[in-house]
């Protein structure tokens, strides 16, 4: 096993990142964490995580942007809110996980072949395009982007689902898609403007 | 001895009782077997066992048996006499028996709690019981002596503990003498800027109490003074106090400080001890503007007059009140007091003993007390956080547990450091806007509004890194670290080692006993624990009493503690002193020695041996005389007397020899 330097220098930290999390909706109580670890204990998925939720909170408030954003933890979170319910400091851990997921996609630092961030991104893209999710397209897209080999094995199941009418190749759209797009674009612009103001 | 042994038929009627103490005793000692065994011993007419002898029904049983069975002696086999000897003496008295016709056997602490073999433990209990039953036959009827208590009190140490105790006692109408070693009262609290967790200004709450001490008609304030000798006993202590010369007459000086301006040294150039050496002072000085008493003093080591004898003494010339007296000598004063409250405080750990943190080597490393002065508006920088080179720190690291929780220095948790570190973190951030890192092992915030204060600091964005800092170094490993002090620590919560560069390091030094705590405790004849803090009589139930009656302890001389706890303890010590004084008398144990005058040969060997100076020599009669009020019953004289003419009550030869015979039976 190759040896790797594990020490962290303060240059590895991004204090602005910590400030950003605290400034976002849901991030307010981040700094009040007493690192009790009940979130990790309550989390049904923490046993698969590279960093437990407690560590994610600690790393986030210390500004370890790279470690946090490229972790699997934020993508494994299934939003069950067990941590949020148990947290003695009422930290909105699930909301923070969402903030981090969004930022990871924005910065393009999520784990590339891991299906969940791809699913999240493609889901959003599809809504933007059609206003609805087409499961056949989404699943196909997801498999091709992450594990196309597995796609071959799933073809039989997919065909059966289509035969019984559970899945369809027909485009599933809403009326007046252009208006939804306008709403989404306006929201996006609003957010960008806010960010710019916050920076200046 | 043997000829004195009461004959079988002449033995007094003895009642024997053995206690189960719930299961404390009965789980290791076969109580029923002990009861049966005692029933067969000579003289025993009643032998019983009971679940809780100390309970009301247990005591009633004794009193009833004494009357019904006409008991003449009583033996109770239970816990330590420290706990319940008095209880059973009272039970004996209720039954109409002299309370000293009683002997207690400790089969809990001495047997049940220290053994693991039930059979052997039971045998040991039987032997101890046999010894007590054999000795009790020889007990004499004794009376307790009453001696009056002097209503005056001395308080030693003028920190917040001493101040509060003195004021409480004085408000109760007692005459108090407050003795303080330094030139001003106020102690450590006078150094602080703010107090946790409320952040109220230390001076604002302390100085009114200091002035109240000075102004109180019942308090005599002796600063710059030290207790030299303590003689006497509870209620009647004679104390010798040494008053060091200030070279300024305390009753004349009004603290106008004209003399300081007039000093031949135009610039202050000597390290200012009050400001932890961060500021400068002149040879004639006053510690701080609110010093109490507000009287200047001269530092003999730096004053030109004392060093060379060639000074024009411009300070004395400038003094309108002619308060200067360069010929002032050390004075020795004597005091008569009934009770003493010791509130001698603590010493801050010297961080030079933990060289890995670079104190004294790197100018950017400070002790917490130095930072207290730096953030203080009346400190050397008027509250501005500046480094020794005048720069402002951008990042500050506060290292907790320096000289605490460490086998190499002090093992104990100093209890206040977490909280004062939080306070300093807040103040540093507020005064300088620097990034502040706290390096802690465990965050200990167990007090009213303490956890809330920690939460407030978390919210302020202070960094909390859980891990003990390994070292402070100026060896840079990245360009960011150039010119900085780098702290290497495992962030045990993040799970990796970090290197954090800062401009200023604050060492949260722990609390230690005063350097001369051992001498002081010997002077006052009290105990101290292995770590050197004064020993309380009982850690839970007598926290301000000591093993010497009439001497009470309060504040950080007993253990590290914060201001609220110190004040509470000072109040408790004052209340205990009041309880003693207002009773008006003390009852002395009758286990004292006396001289059988006819047999004393006047050899004087006992006189110098007595540790309490209770023995004098009557030159007319040529006999030794023991003052029973001073005698503590240690037995040294009785053992040393070559003619056997000194007898100690409760420990005369018959009692001791029969006890030995009983145990060997």
* Domain-terminating residue out of A107, A133, A155: A107
Name which of B458, B465, B480 is nearest A32 (Cβ-Cβ).
Answer: B458
Check whether residue A131 and residue A102 sit in a common domain.
no
Is there a contact between B410 and B533 (Cβ–Cβ < 8 Å)?
no
Q: How far does CA A97 lie from the centroid of its chain?
A: 7
Q: Count how many Cα atoms sit within 13 Å of the Cα of residue B269 in the half-sphere of its side chain.
A: 8
Q: Looking at the complex, does the CB of residue A34 fall below 8 Å from at least one CB of chain B?
A: yes
Q: What is the mean pLDDT of residues B488-504?
A: 95
Same domain assignment for residues A100 and A137: no
B497 and A33 within 8 Å at the Cβ level: the answer is: no
Report CA A155 to chain centroid distance, whole Å: 28
Q: What is the pLDDT of residue B9?
A: 61
Residues 6+ away with beta carbon under 8 Å from A183: none
Q: In this structure, are A16 and A65 located in the same domain?
A: yes
Contacts of A7 in chain B (CB under 8 A): 496-499
Look-up of token digits 């494994």: A76
Cα-only R_g, chain A: 20
Closest CA to A133 of A94, A173, A170, A95: A173
In the predicted structure, residue A155 carries a pLDDT above the cut 90: no
Q: Which two tokens stand for residue B398?
A: 């506060």
Q: For B50-76, how does the pLDDT look when each residue is reduced to its tens digit (9 = 90+)?
A: 999 999 999 999 999 999 999 999 999
pLDDT band at residue B127 under the 50/70/90 scheme: very high
> Cβ contacts (< 8 Å) between A6 and chain B: which residues?
496-497
| Domain shared by A85 and A162, yes or no | no
In a mutational test of the B interface, the residue from A9, A18, A33, A51 whose CB has the highest number of chain B CBs within 10 Å is A9
* Rounded mean pLDDT, B6-20: 83
In three-state secondary structure terms, B337 is strand
CATH of the domain at A36: 1.10.1060.10
8 Å CB contact of A58 and B496: no
| A2 domain residue, yes or no | no
Condensed to tens digits (0 to 9), the pLDDT of residues B363-406 reads 999 999 999 999 999 899 999 999 999 999 999 999 999 999 99
DSSP bridge pairs for B340 = B154, B551
Number of domains making up chain A: 2
Q: In chain A, positions 67-96, which contact chain B (CB-CB < 8 Å)? A: 89
Non-local CB neighbours of A7 within 8 Å, separated by 6+ positions: B496, B497, B498, B499
Task: For residue range B525-575, list pLDDT tens digits in order.
Answer: 899 999 999 999 999 999 999 988 999 999 999 999 999 999 999 999 999
**C-beta atoms of B466 and A8 within 8 A:** no
pLDDT at site B613: 83
Residues A142 and A95 placed together within one structural domain of the fold? no
Average pLDDT over residues A99-109: 92
Q: What is the pLDDT of residue B2?
A: 37
Return the pLDDT at B4: 45
Q: Closest approach of chain A CAs to the CA of B452, in angstroms?
A: 10
Which own/partner pairs from B168-175 qualify as long-range (CB within 8 Å, at least 24 positions apart)?
B168/B570, B168/B571, B168/B574, B168/B575, B169/B218, B169/B341, B169/B574, B169/B577, B169/B578, B170/B216, B170/B218, B170/B219, B171/B216, B171/B218, B172/B574, B172/B578, B173/B218, B174/B218, B174/B577, B174/B578, B174/B581, B175/B151, B175/B218, B175/B220
DSSP-derived pairing of the beta strands B551-553 and B615-618:
unpaired
Q: Which domains does chain B have, with CATH numbers?
A: 2-136 (3.40.50), 156-244+334-344+520-588 (3.50.50.60), 258-318 (no CATH), 347-512 (3.50.50.60), 593-648 (3.30.70.20)
Chain-chain contact of B494 with A55 (C-beta, under 8 angstroms): yes
Is the domain of A24 the same as that of A99?
yes
Counting residues of chain A whose pLDDT is more than 90, the rounded percentage is: 53
**Whose CA is closest to B205, among B508, B576, B569, B566?**
B566
Kindly list the distances between the CA atom of residue B298 and the CA atoms of A44, A170, B294, B617, in Å, as whole numbers in the listed order: 72, 99, 14, 47
CB of A7 within 8 Å of any CB in chain B?
yes
Q: Per residue in B541-555, pLDDT tens?
A: 999 999 889 999 999
pLDDT at A151: 84
Nearest to B380 by CA among B270, B278, B284, B290: B278
Count of beta carbons in the 10 Å neighbourhood of residue B167 = 22
Q: Among B355, B60, B382, B42, which residue's Cα sits nearest to residue B193?
A: B382
Residues A128 and A101 in one domain: no
Query: What 3-state DSSP class applies to A16?
Result: helix
ipTM of the complex: 0.81
pLDDT surpasses 50 at B5: no
Domain match, A141 and A82 both? no
Q: For a pLDDT cut of 70, what percent of chain B falls above it?
A: 99
B611 lies within 8 A of chain A by CB: no
Residues A80 and A137 in one domain: no
Q: Residue B3: is its pLDDT beyond 70?
A: no
- Contact predicate B385/B392, CB 8 Å: yes
A98 and A150 inside one domain: no
**pLDDT confidence of A16, banded at 50, 70, 90?**
very high
Show the domain range for A71. 12-107
């Amino acid at each position: 096993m190759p040896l790797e330097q594990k020490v962290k220098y303060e240059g590895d930290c991004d204090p602005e990142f910590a400030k950003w999390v605290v400034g976002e909706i849901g991030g307010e109580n981040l700094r009040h964490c007493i690192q009790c670890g009940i979130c990790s204990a309550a989390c049904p998925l923490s046993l698969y995580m590279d960093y437990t939720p407690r560590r994610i909170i600690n790393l986030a408030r210390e500004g370890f942007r790279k470690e946090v954003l490229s972790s699997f933890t934020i993508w494994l979170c299934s939003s069950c809110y067990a941590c949020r319910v148990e947290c003695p400091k009422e930290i909105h851990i699930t909301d923070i996980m969402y903030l981090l997921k969004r930022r990871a996609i924005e910065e393009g630092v999520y784990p590339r072949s891991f299906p969940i961030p791809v699913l999240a991104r493609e889901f959003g893209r599809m809504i933007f395009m059609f206003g609805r999710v087409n499961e056949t397209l989404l699943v196909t897209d997801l498999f091709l982007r992450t594990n196309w080999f597995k796609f071959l094995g799933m073809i039989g199941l997919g065909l059966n689902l289509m035969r019984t009418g559970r899945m369809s190749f027909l485009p599933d759209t809403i009326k007046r898609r252009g208006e939804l797009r306008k709403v989404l674009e306006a929201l996006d612009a609003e957010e960008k403007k806010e960010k710019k103001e916050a920076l200046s | 001895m043997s000829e004195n042994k009461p004959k079988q038929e002449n033995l007094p009627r003895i009642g024997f009782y053995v206690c189960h103490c719930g299961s404390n005793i009965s789980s290791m000692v076969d109580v029923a077997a002990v009861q049966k065994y005692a029933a067969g011993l000579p003289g025993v007419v009643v032998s019983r066992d009971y679940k809780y002898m100390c309970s009301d029904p247990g005591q009633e049983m004794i009193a009833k048996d004494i009357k019904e069975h006409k008991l003449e002696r009583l033996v109770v086999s239970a816990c330590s006499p420290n706990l319940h000897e008095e209880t059973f003496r009272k039970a004996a008295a209720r039954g109409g028996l002299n309370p000293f016709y009683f002997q207690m056997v400790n089969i809990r602490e001495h047997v049940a709690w220290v053994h693991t073999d039930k059979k052997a433990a039971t045998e040991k209990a039987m032997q101890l019981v046999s010894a007590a039953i054999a000795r009790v036959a020889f007990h004499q009827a004794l009376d307790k002596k009453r001696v009056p208590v002097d209503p005056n009190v001395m308080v030693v140490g003028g920190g917040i503990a001493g101040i509060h105790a003195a004021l409480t006692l004085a408000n109760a109408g007692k005459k108090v003498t407050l003795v303080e070693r330094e030139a001003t009262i106020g102690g450590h609290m006078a150094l602080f800027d703010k107090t946790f967790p409320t952040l109220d200004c230390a001076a604002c709450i302390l100085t009114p109490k200091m002035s109240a001490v000075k102004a109180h008609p019942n308090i005599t304030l002796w600063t710059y003074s030290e207790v030299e000798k303590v003689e006497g006993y509870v209620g009647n202590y004679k104390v010798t106090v040494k008053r060091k010369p200030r070279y300024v007459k305390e009753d004349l000086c009004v603290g106008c400080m004209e003399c300081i301006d007039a000093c031949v040294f135009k610039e202050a150039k000597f390290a200012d001890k009050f400001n932890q050496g961060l500021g400068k002072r002149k040879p004639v000085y006053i510690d701080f503007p609110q010093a109490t008493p507000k009287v200047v003093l001269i530092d003999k080591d730096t004053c030109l007059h004392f060093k060379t004898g060639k000074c024009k003494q411009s300070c004395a010339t400038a003094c309108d009140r002619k308060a200067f007296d360069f010929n002032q000598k050390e004075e020795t004063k004597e005091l008569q007091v009934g009770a003493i409250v010791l509130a001698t405080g603590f010493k801050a750990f010297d961080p030079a003993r933990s060289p890995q943190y670079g104190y004294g080597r790197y100018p950017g490393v400070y002790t917490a007390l130095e930072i207290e002065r730096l953030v203080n508006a009346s400190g050397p920088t008027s509250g501005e956080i500046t480094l020794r080179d005048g720069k402002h720190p951008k990042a500050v690291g506060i290292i907790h547990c320096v000289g605490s929780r460490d086998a190499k220095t002090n093992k104990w948790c100093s209890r206040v450091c977490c909280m004062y570190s939080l306070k300093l973190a807040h103040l540093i951030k507020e005064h300088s806007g620097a990034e502040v890192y706290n390096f802690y092992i465990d965050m200990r915030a167990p007090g009213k509004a303490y956890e809330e204060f920690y939460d407030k600091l978390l919210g302020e964005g202070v960094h909390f890194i859980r891990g003990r800092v390994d070292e402070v170094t100026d060896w840079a490993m990245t360009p960011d670290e150039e010119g900085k002090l780098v702290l290497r620590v495992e962030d045990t919560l993040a799970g990796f080692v970090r290197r954090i560069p800062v401009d200023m390091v604050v060492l949260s030094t722990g609390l230690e006993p005063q350097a001369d705590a051992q001498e002081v405790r010997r002077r006052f004849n009290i105990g101290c624990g292995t770590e050197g803090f004064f020993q309380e009589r009982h850690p839970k139930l007598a926290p301000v009493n000591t093993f010497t009656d009439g001497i009470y302890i309060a504040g950080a001389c007993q253990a590290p503690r914060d201001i609220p706890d110190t004040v509470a303890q000072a109040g408790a010590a004052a209340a205990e002193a009041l309880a003693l004084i207002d009773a008006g008398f003390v009852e002395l144990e009758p286990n004292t020695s006396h001289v059988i005058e006819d047999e004393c040969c006047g050899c004087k060997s006992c006189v110098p041996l007595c540790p309490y100076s209770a023995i004098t020599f009557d030159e007319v009669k040529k006999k030794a005389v023991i003052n029973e009020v001073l005698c503590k019953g240690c037995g040294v004289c009785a053992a040393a007397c070559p003619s056997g003419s000194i007898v100690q009550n409760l420990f005369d030869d018959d009692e001791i020899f029969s006890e030995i015979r009983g145990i060997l039976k």
